[in-house]
Structure 1
Amino acid sequence: MGDFPAALDATDRKTPSLSERFEALEREREQSWPAEALAINRNQRALLVREHDLSSRPGVGDRFPDALLTGLDGTQLTYPQADGKPSVLIFFRFAGCPACNIALPYYRDHLFPELRRLDVELIAISPQPPQLLRAISEAHQLPFAVVTDEGLELSRKLGITYEYDEPSRQAAIEKGIDPRSLNGMDRWELPKPAIYVLDRKKHIIFRDVSPDWMQRTDFGPIVEASKKITDVEDLWKG
């Protein structure tokens, strides 16, 4: 696999931040997409922002719900695992999602090295079937686990799923997209991009959910939350 570059501060002007990369993608779409397609995309995202509400869902201080996840090799594992490492969970939409193909390699280069140094596990989660989800892991040589949340069971417990609005469904159908290729089901449902940082006892110490999938958590706050876990554990050891 080779060594990955050390994490860079998001303010380092030699490398674009995650938000700058999404801004570039949006500008490219403004120039290349038909106006109607761009409006459908933006209207769906704006609707999700307006309706976003996690007030009754697991948040900071709560224990993370149990779930059965499936690895790319088909192996199933119960999560959270007892006596496991602290962990960072990245929820993303599907392998062909352009924004996900910006975010995951960015996390590979800037987040993963810092978490590895802190001995914090990184797991990326999507509802897409493993045989299709494998594409994004292989394309970007992701060094962390990529797993399937079958039936969106975990994402629903967390309250982070959304359904395509009617214009978005019709646009996807016209492109030949089947919802089963996205989530293994007949429902047009996906997770909102989300980050959860968990301590060893699987309590949530940081949560950031993005109803607009073109806005995602940069690596800095995730690393800072992870450092707090390891700092506390160092105190216990002392």
Structure 2
Amino acid sequence: MPLQGKLDALRTEFETNVAPPAVVELLHRATAELISTGAVDKALKAGDIAPEFTLSDAHGKQVASRSLLARGPLVVTFYRGVWCPYCNFDLQALEAARTEIEARGATLVAISPQTNANSRKSQRENKLGFPILSDEAGKVGARFGVRWTVPDYLHDVHRQLGADLTGFNGDESWTLPMPARYVIDRDGTIAYAEINPDYTRRPEPSEVFPVLEALALRQGRP
């Protein structure tokens, strides 16, 4: 089943059989409000220059985007956290596509505001072969233009659902990244960008394949 099909089934189950109607209403309200702000229009797009970053992986090792780009293009996915089942399906789909991504000369990383310990849990539970980098308070997400602040009325909803962000992220900011996927060329230019304020919508990982193939042809690689 395609990734979006799995997400649609998850949403139907959650909204029909798991969450109370009042909670579903507040989640829909927050998504609608985020869409109405035009936040997506402020995020970095294809043709922009991606900001450089150095972040720690789940084991505390520093990972620099400059070093990764020296090896080839970079596929970056912004990940809300281990508490988000939609995000975990997304990571699993990316892991299933990782061999194809790497065969096209690219490196795959996820960036999340969660703590290293929670990233280790994410990698273990989703059986990932690519790193999750810790973005404290979403500072790198802000530089990409994908960070947003969770409204006050959702704080108790998150806690009710077992997703108190102060614990998962280790700070009091109550910020998250919008689901976003980028392909960054070796010179730092963004070649592909997909950002969606609706956390239940994600692009298929295969969408990056032709982008990576075009970058390889441009570099004279087969």
TM-score w.r.t. structure 2 length?
0.91
State yes or no: 1:106 paired with 2:93.
yes
Larger radius of gyration: 1
Contact 2:137-2:173 within 8 A present in 1 as well? no
Deviation at 1:174, TM superposition (A): 4.0
**Aligned counterpart, 2:125:** 139
Deviation at 1:57, TM superposition (A): 4.4
Deviation at 1:18, TM superposition (A): 1.4
Larger helix share, 1 or 2: 2
What RMSD over aligned residues (CA atoms) do the two structures have, in Å? 1.8
| In structure 1, distance between residues paired with 2:156 and 2:139 | 25
Matches within 5 A, 1:58-137: 58-81=44-67, 83-109=70-96, 111-137=97-123
State yes or no: 1:23 paired with 2:8.
yes
Q: What are the superposed Cα offsets for residues 130-189 of structure 1, whole Å, 9 maximum, x if unpaired?
A: 011111101121011211112311101111011112221121234564433232210111
Deviation at 1:59, TM superposition (A): 2.3
Distance 1:43 1:129, change over 3 A: same
Deviation at 1:53, TM superposition (A): 3.0
Structure 1 unaligned spans of 5+: 1-15
Number of matched residues?
220
| In structure 1, distance between residues paired with 2:42 and 2:161 | 36
**Secondary structure of the corresponding residue to residue 26 of structure 2:** helix
| In structure 2, distance between residues paired with 1:169 and 1:52 | 22
**Aligned counterpart, 1:223:** 209
Aligned counterpart for 2:158 among listed residues 172, 193, 199 = 172
Structure 2 unaligned spans of 5+: none
